[in-house]
Amino acid sequence: MRRIKLWTVYFLRFILKAVYIVPVKKRRIYLSSNRGTSISCNPWYIFEYMREKYPHTFEYIWEYDKEADPMEDVKYVKPHTAASVFYMLTSGIIISNDGIGSFIPKRKSQCFINTWHGGGAYKRVGGDTIQDPKDPEVIINRICGGQTDVFLSGCKKFTEVMHIAKAVPTERFLECGMPRNDFLIHGTDKDVKGKVYRYFGLDPETKIVLFAPTYRGVEGNANFDLEIDIKGCIEALKKRFGGEWVFLMRKHHFVEHVDTEGCIDAGDYPDMQELLYTVDVFITDYSSTIWDYSLTYKPGFLFAPDFDQYESERNFYSDPETWAFPIAKTNQELQKLILDYDDDKNREKIETHHELLGDMESGHATETVVRTIRNFLVKERNR
């Protein structure tokens, strides 16, 4: 079956080169986030900055599978349609947080920037999850990697492991950090916290704990069973930090449904970074949001009841004991970690984690990426 998939990729790449008769529009920018399921993440922050900094200069094409509010200079296309393929192959710049399909024969006069959708180096991904080196998926992964011109990185360890996992030469990594993390580092003049509280209809005095685990299984059949003791967690938070608390649950976008009884479903909130910026405490497991949230230096905990199984089946890029936050394998352990929380130890653990992974978050990633785009366009114009 996978061999058929590989030959299909070769066939489509050959057929789609017919689009080459249409010239590339240098100032057309194609953006995709979470494979067209949202308008968010790093592509959104780059898009927002460019529209503000260079108004009426570029044409933007957003890949999006839902209805969206109209914006000037913006066109929406559904993913996996003839329109999406056409615009992808005629845009001077392609920006995606997940890559472009292996069936897309990117042109040399185009620049593809893979912003990725996570920092740090935690669970294994890409080619590192393929057991058989003769698996056709290895070749498909290599095709995708070869078409990547710029791959954003937030730390040295990320570059080290992703260059192999995604088959991208190390010299193509831009170690400037994630655009979406810039305001986590510097703060913002926008009323992000007020926006979040208004969205969920919360009392401004209420404290928020956010639980956002990654998925289990594989894409297309991803799942997650909620095992966390919400009431016990909230009681521990009240004892340690005081005040009234609400529990927000945000599922991974690969997971279609998850039980959110006893908590507030935050799955539809459009911007994860705004949630991380706002919440008082964050709980996850093996998700790369560990990295993003660590930049805030706020209290965080890891809840991983299936740790042994997950480590055996998928494994990690770095020692979990060195991660930014302590790990609990049971609800009792999680509650004890909360009750024993020490702010100085939390900061020390985060700083050590950043040092071990080689932190490269600049707080100016968006500006760096946009500068890279403009430099590419200047070179193409002079070619």
Q: How far apart are CA 209 and CA 211, in angstroms?
A: 7
- Condensed to tens digits (0 to 9), the pLDDT of residues 6-51 reads 999 999 999 999 999 999 999 999 999 999 999 999 999 999 999 9
Question: Residue 132: what pLDDT?
Answer: 85
pLDDT at 321 over 80: yes
Q: How many CB atoms lie within 10 A of CB 277?
A: 21
Conformational region of residue 225, where left means phi above 0, alpha means psi within -120 to 50, and beta covers everything else: beta
- Condensed to tens digits (0 to 9), the pLDDT of residues 211-222 reads 999 866 555 554
Q: What whole-number percentage of the chain has pLDDT above 70?
A: 94
pLDDT at 252 over 60: no
Q: How far apart are CA 93 and CA 116, in angstroms?
A: 16
Of the candidate ranges 39-53, 96-110, 143-157, 246-260, the one whose mean pLDDT is the lowest:
246-260
Of the candidate ranges 31-40, 169-178, 250-259, 330-339, the one whose mean pLDDT is the lowest:
250-259
Q: How far apart are CA 241 and CA 235, in angstroms?
A: 10
Question: Residue 251: what pLDDT?
Answer: 72
pLDDT at 298 over 70: yes
Per-residue confidence at 223, pLDDT binned at 50, 70, 90? low
Question: Residue 131: what pLDDT?
Answer: 82
Average the pLDDT over 161-183 and give the result: 97
Say what angle helices 136-146 and 2-16 make with each other, to 10 degrees: 30
Give the 3-state DSSP-derived string for the chain, with helices as H, strands as E and coil as C: CHHHHHHHHHHHHHHHHHHHHCCCEEEEEEEEEHHHCECCHHHHHHHHHHHHHCCCCCEEEEECCCCCCCCCCEEEECCCCHHHHHHHHCEEEEEECCCCCCCCCCCCCCEEEECCCCCCCCECCHHHHCCCCCCHHHHHHHHHHHCCCEEEECEHHHHHHHHHHCCCCHHHEEECCCHHHHHHHHCCCCCHHHHHHHHHCCCCCCEEEEECCCCECCCCCCECCCCCCHHHHHHHHHHHHCCCEEEEECCCCCCCCCCCCCCEECCCCCCHHHHHHHCCEEEECCCCHHHHHHCCCCCEEEECCCHHHHHHHCCECCCHHHCCCCEECCHHHHHHHHHCCCHHHHHHHHHHHHHHHCECCCCCHHHHHHHHHHHHHHHHHHC
pLDDT at 278 over 90: yes
Of the candidate ranges 83-92, 153-162, 258-267, the one whose mean pLDDT is the lowest:
258-267
Average the pLDDT over 340-362 and give the result: 98
- Condensed to tens digits (0 to 9), the pLDDT of residues 282-297 reads 999 999 999 999 999 9
Question: Residue 255: what pLDDT?
Answer: 46
Average the pLDDT over 182-192 and give the result: 95
Q: What is the mean pLDDT of the chain?
A: 93
Q: Which residues fall within 8 angstroms of residue 101, CB to CB, at 6 or more apart?
A: 144
Average the pLDDT over 109-136 and give the result: 92
Question: Residue 382: what pLDDT?
Answer: 78
Say what angle helices 230-241 and 331-339 make with each other, to 10 degrees: 10
Average the pLDDT over 42-69 and give the result: 96
The answer to whether 127 and 138 are in contact (CB under 8 A) is yes
Closest C-alpha among 68, 199, 361 to residue 77: 68
Say what angle helices 343-357 and 156-165 make with each other, to 10 degrees: 50
Q: What whole-number percentage of the chain has pLDDT above 90?
A: 82
**What's the chain's Rg over C-alpha atoms?**
21
Question: Residue 259: what pLDDT?
Answer: 59
